[in-house]
Amino acid sequence: LNIVPSPVQFEYLVRVQPHHTDYAGVVWHGSYLRWMEEARIDALRVVGIEFADLVAIGCDLPVVELSLNYRKPLQMGNVAIVRSCLLHKEKVRWIWSQNIESKEGNTLCVEGKVVLAAVNRQQNRVLRTLPPSLQLACDRFLGLTDTIP
């Protein structure tokens, strides 16, 4: 019997605000990047990483790749669900899936994929290995250990 660990899926809710929209009356295509960032920060918190603390100790997790597929625009008044899931890890690179749905109708609106890389802030260099706290966070994201710290 093999139990394959599966990555944890996180949900983050956002209500569409006037400042998210543009002249077309729907969410401006760049606003989704804010939501996706917020959702990742929130997921980190769940597994025990306060992002501001990470930065304070000299580590950062910048976005190094990003791809988005816009399927259906969200509108003012909609509530969006950002579903985030760490798909896998390649050395210090984290590959996330982040899909955005409309809560009304559970429609898939944006398909997103984001790659983060752990860097040393002072040297502005990609780290060779993850610091232990991030390695543990990663294991929690991937379902390799208990999620809640």
Q: Active-site residues: which are they?
A: 22
Contacting residue, 46, 63, 108, 130, with a copy of itself by CB under 8 A: 63
Neighbours of 88 (CB within 10 A): 12
DSSP 99: E
Residue 55 near a copy of itself by CB under 8 A? yes
Instruction: Tell me the CA distances in angstroms from 143 to 4, 31, 88, one per residue in order.
Output: 9, 30, 11
Residue appearing with tokens 């997103």:
112
> Minimum CB separation from a copy of itself for residue 138, in Å?
19
Residue 68 near a copy of itself by CB under 8 A? yes
Contacting residue, 8, 9, 60, 143, with a copy of itself by CB under 8 A: 60
Contacting residue, 6, 13, 29, 104, with a copy of itself by CB under 8 A: 29
DSSP 3-20: ----PPEEEEEEE--GGG
Q: Which is nearer to a copy of itself, 60 or 139 (CB)?
A: 60
Q: Which of residues 95-134 bind a copy of itself (CB under 8 A)?
A: 121, 124
Q: In terms of Cα–Cα distance, which of 99, 100, 129, 96 is closest to 114? A: 96
Q: Which is nearer to a copy of itself, 5 or 62 (CB)?
A: 62
